[in-house]
Amino acid sequence: MSLNAAFLGLGVMGYPMAGHLANAGNTVTVWNRTAAKSKQWASTYNGTACPSIAEAVRDADFVFTCVGADKDLLEVFEGPDGIIENAKAGAVLVDHTTASAGVAEHIAKLAGDRGLGFVDAPVSGGQQGADNGQLTVMCGGEHQAFDQARPLMDCYSKALNLMGPVGSGQRTKMVNQIAIAGLVQGLSEALHFAEQAELDVQKVVDVISKGAAQSWQMDNRSATMIAGEFNHGFAVDWMRKDLAICLEEARKNGSRLPVAALVDQFYGEVQDIGGSRWDTSSLIQRLRKKSS
């Protein structure tokens, strides 16, 4: 069954995600801050590019957003030209931005006051997962809104779960980023040690990846880390934004994140050596630079 959906935010994640919705036979309207990107998407996927948020969401039963951060979310949701004021009655709003739990709860309150459903639904899997329709989606919200939006989110998901009330999706994504930070730093140190020990690093990985050291990061990033290639899409700048959210939430709930805080500082050093747009596996470059 074809559904009417709007998708706002056509970055490296949103562009293919909206494409999967269109390829599944849904009617999709799009809006992007850079209008040329909207027109390019509409030409590729036979959708409709709209010049304003209001026009994009007016007839949509589902409105998806995937923008940069809290500030960007508030800009697209609030105000006379925003989603809240212009979405049709009964529409379900799904936000795929990695943002704070607080902003998700704020938007959910605005949506509820207007009779709109809301699901916070950050994703994991990176650009490759978005391109291949294999994202992990962590959701927070009411069961009814989640169940209504689920068939659409299935278009680009390999795992899709409702984690609890609004904000639970964002908090689950924080857990994900905390875990990744430690894993990537550990893998960087291990590969760097192997290099300094003058071992055959790829051979080392081939052996230890069959044991307890194995991880997704090792399987998917070790070869490019060894080669010094860091163009896998999820930039250091964005990881620092995410870790800042994690550390702020930790201050609120009393949890202790010494490793995440340290790795955040290390990513700052990667930025200082010109790696702001390198992907997160570039932590190893910091170690190489210090040893050179």
210 and 138 within one domain? no
Are residues 182 and 139 part of one domain? no
Residue 51 burial by Cβ neighbours in a 10 Å radius (0-12, 13-18, 19+) = exposed
| Averaged confidence pLDDT in the chain | 97
Q: Could you give the C-alpha distances from 241 to 46, 92, 189, 211, 284, in angstroms and in order?
A: 34, 27, 23, 33, 20
- pLDDT value of residue 234: 87
| pLDDT-based confidence at residue 232 (cuts at 50, 70, 90) | confident
61 plus 156 within the same structural domain:
yes
**Of all residues in the chain, what percent carry a pLDDT higher than 90?**
96
Whether 63 has a pLDDT exceeding 90, the answer reads yes
User: Is the pLDDT at 253 greater than 80, yes or no?
Assistant: yes
**In a shared domain, residues 44 and 119:** yes
| 90/151 same-domain check | yes
Whether the predicted pLDDT of 104 surpasses 80: yes
Domain end call among 164, 185, 216 = 164
For the chain, the distance separating the N- and C-terminal CA atoms, rounded to the nearest angstrom, is 59
79: pLDDT confidence band, cut at 50, 70 and 90? very high
Number of domains in the chain: 2
Does residue 89 share a domain with residue 159? yes
Per-residue pLDDT, 98: 97
Q: Is 121 helix (H, G, I), strand (E, B) or coil?
A: coil
Contact 264, 181 (CB under 8 A): yes
Q: What is the dihedral of CA 258, 260, 266, 267, to 10 degrees?
A: -160
Active site (catalytic) residues: 173
Q: Which of 164, 190, 217 is the last residue of a domain?
A: 164
Under the banding of pLDDT at 50, 70 and 90, the label for residue 292 is confident
Q: Domain check: are 103 and 195 in the same one?
A: no
Same-domain pairing of 115 and 256? no
- Where residue 214 sits, what CATH number does that domain have? 1.10.1040.10
Residue-wise pLDDT tens digits, 6-47: 999 999 999 999 999 999 999 999 999 999 999 999 999 999
**CATH assignment at residue 29:** 3.40.50.720
So what's the pLDDT on residue 229? Answer: 97
Are residues 32 and 86 located together in one domain of the fold? yes
Which is nearest to 13 in space by CA: 128, 104, 165?
128
User: The pTM is what?
Assistant: 0.94
| Count of beta carbons in the 10 Å neighbourhood of residue 248 | 13
Dihedral of CA atoms 111, 5, 121, 179 in degrees, nearest 10, equals -150
Answer yes or no: is pLDDT of 1 > 80.
no
Residues 6+ apart with CB under 8 A from 110: 77, 78, 84
| CA atoms of 160 and 152, how far apart (whole Å) | 11
**Domain residues for 195?**
172-291
CA 157 to chain centre: 13
Domain boundary (107, 142, 164) is at 164
Which residue in the block uniquely carries the two structure tokens 């570039």? 282
What pLDDT sits at residue 224?
Answer: 97
Integer-rounded Cα radius of gyration of the chain: 20
Q: Are residues 269 and 156 part of one domain? A: no
The Cα-based distances of 100 to 50, 111, 140, 160, 248 in angstroms read 28, 17, 12, 20, 9
Give the mean pLDDT of 182-205: 98
